[in-house]
Amino acid sequence: MFNILVVEDDKSTKKLMEVILRTNGYNHLAASNGLEALEIMDSHHVDLIVLDIMMPKMNGYELTKELRANHDDIPILMVTAKQLLEDRKQGFIVGTDDYMIKPVDEEEMILRIKALLRRAKIVSEHQLLIGKVVLDYDSLTVIRDNEQQMLPQKEFYLLYKLLSYPQKIFTRLQLMDEIWGMDSETTDNTVNVHINRLRKRFENYSEFEIVTVRGLGYKGVRKDEE
Amino acid sequence: MFNILVVEDDKSTKKLMEVILRTNGYNHLAASNGLEALEIMDSHHVDLIVLDIMMPKMNGYELTKELRANHDDIPILMVTAKQLLEDRKQGFIVGTDDYMIKPVDEEEMILRIKALLRRAKIVSEHQLLIGKVVLDYDSLTVIRDNEQQMLPQKEFYLLYKLLSYPQKIFTRLQLMDEIWGMDSETTDNTVNVHINRLRKRFENYSEFEIVTVRGLGYKGVRKDEE
DNA sequence: GAGGAAGATTAACTCAAGATAAACTGATTA
DNA sequence: TAATCAGTTTATCTTGAGTTAATCTTCCTC
């Protein structure tokens, strides 16, 4: 289930979009301007933004600029009036984005949203996204908001494995085999220790959890889709 | 218009890729193995290679090695089966490269190609701007305000490489291969020494930093947009 | 509720990876 | 031929990821 944030100051358009999104199975969040949008994004995970260009307070361009400056490459579907299109779209529509001309057509909007989400998913292939938390496989890094930490290899791979298959129970032996290698000499207690360290490291992260299954092993639990 | 060389022994995959590339506006060249690829590259300008790892005659690794030995840092998009994924840390995917997991998705491939070409272009511009700091590739010079220093070659190239791909982890081996050449005899400790010298040289520069990733290598971190 | 097994936690240990300093080499130049 | 400089090597010091071991806690069973 994806969370889509609609940033739009016109009440009736906003309402219309809400209906479209809900009937197509998306979660819907709403803001009336850029500032509100940023606030909502602080407290909610957002997969995509539908953004009206013309707005009071902080307009669409400013919001986009703000987001990109923070290296947030969330996909943005811009909505613009026809006459504004040519001149402006050049510098603001980046690779992850798309745009639509008002008035919006239901089918078109859903198609574009689908395409954008699909692309975002591809780009994040080397990554795991859990709520607002990103696990980046290539850099062994866990990022939440502007908090970022690089984990030791074994710890990272362990966490990545568990969260790649949420709810699946792994025995200590399986984990040893997959992360340490089949012929590792090390005792399986070292898995305990690593799990312990991970739990401590992320104890204030509500997005996921490592659960012990007594007599069997561990499983990763994701709580991002509530 | 870019020339893209597909090196792939499977006929149908090759055909598929040809169609994908043509419909997306790229020129297409094809080879069935590494040797053929080298021949084609003798007579054609190639901007990017899409390379299947598993091939007869000269496989993907060997071709890459051959190319890098000649200091050809043409971007390579490797195609690999999932279980071979773990290999990528071992020093074959170099800075200019990316990889995809089979089976390839059209959209994904085009996205990755675009990204690689974009980066290659940036790198070939021969200047890097980080905050107020300019790295000038042609004169091996680093400039900040009215402070200017020319670095020894190896030091400069090392820094330039790391900062061209910020956050990307390079193993010592990769750095050796790309800067010293594949067949260099020198021990990888000399990388340590150069990193050390760079760190000392720029210790009061807040714009960038070289971070050690224990067990893997180094990465450049840019702090210009904070 | 006593006893024992599974797991958690803590702290200490080990050793390879990396950092650092300094010496060495070979090329270039004065 | 002395001086300088880039690059390399060697030797030594430091660090921290990973492991081990010891102890504590929890949970299940009789």
Q: What are the residue ranges of helices labelled H in B24-99?
A: 34-43, 60-69
Nearest CA in chain B to A116: B107
Distance B206 CA to D8 C1' (A): 29
**Torsion sign, CA atoms A209, A181, B216, B74:** negative
* Alpha helix segments (H runs only) across chain A: 11-23, 34-43, 60-69, 85-92, 106-123, 153-164, 172-175, 189-201
One-letter amino acid at B94 equals: V
A152 touches strand D (CB under 7 A): yes
> Closest Cα of chain A to B138: distance in Å?
29
- The minimal CB distance from B111 to the residues A122, A138, A140 is found for A122
Count of residues in chain A: 226
Determine whether B189 is exposed, middle or buried from the number of CB atoms within 10 Å of its CB (0-12, 13-18, 19+): exposed
Q: Do B75 and B49 contact (CB within 8 A), yes or no?
A: yes
Angle at B39 between CA B1 and CA B27, to 5 degrees: 15
Res B210 pLDDT > 90: yes
pLDDT > 70? residue B120: yes
Query: What is the spatial distance between Cα B7 and Cα B100, in angstroms, rounded to a whole number?
Result: 14
- Chain A, chain B: beta-carbon pairs less than 8 Å apart: 31
Determine whether the distance from the CB of B214 to the nearest atom of strand D is below 7 Å.
Answer: yes
* Residue B190 CB in 7 A reach of strand D: yes
Facing B107 at nearest CB: one of A122, A138, A153: A122
Residues of chain B whose beta carbon is less than 8 angstroms from a beta carbon of chain A are 101, 105, 107-108, 111, 114-115, 167-169, 211, 213-216, 219, 225
Determine the residue type at B59.
N
Nearest-CA distance B112 → chain A (Å): 8
CA angle in degrees (0–180, nearest 5) for B176-B177-B180: 60
Report how far residue B114's alpha carbon sits from residue B110's, in angstroms, rounded to the nearest whole number.
6
Q: Which pLDDT score, from 0 to 100, does residue A200 have?
A: 94
Contact A139 B107 (CB under 8 A): no
Tens place of pLDDT per residue across chain A (226 aa): 788 999 988 888 888 889 989 888 888 999 988 888 888 887 777 889 998 877 777 667 777 777 776 656 788 888 876 555 444 444 455 545 677 777 778 888 888 888 778 767 655 667 888 888 989 888 899 998 878 899 999 999 999 989 988 888 998 988 888 888 777 778 889 999 999 999 999 998 999 999 999 988 999 998 865 4
| Residue B143 contacts residue B137 (beta carbons within 8 Å) | no
Q: Is B18 helix (H, G, I), strand (E, B) or coil?
A: helix
The stretches of chain B forming alpha helices (DSSP H) are 11-23, 34-43, 60-69, 106-124, 153-164, 172-175, 189-201
The answer to whether some atom of strand D lies closer than 7 Å to the beta carbon of A194 is yes
Q: Enumerate the nucleotides of strand C whose atoms come under 7 Å of any protein CB.
A: 6-11, 17-22
In DSSP terms, B135 is beta-bridged to: B128, B142
Which DSSP category does A182 fall into?
T
CA angle (B19, B22, B25) in 5-degree steps: 150
Ranges A211-220, B108-117, B165-174, most confident: A211-220
> Before A103, cis peptide (omega within 30)?
yes
What residues contact B4, with CB distance under 8 A and at least 6 apart? B21, B26, B27, B28, B29, B46, B47, B48, B49, B50, B113
Place of tokens 């745009």: A99
Q: Does residue A185 lie within 7 Å of nucleic acid chain D, judged by its CB?
A: yes
The 10 Å CB-count burial string (b at 16+, else e) for A81-107 is: eeeeeeeeeeebeeebbbbbeeebeee
What is chain B's mean pLDDT, rounded? 82
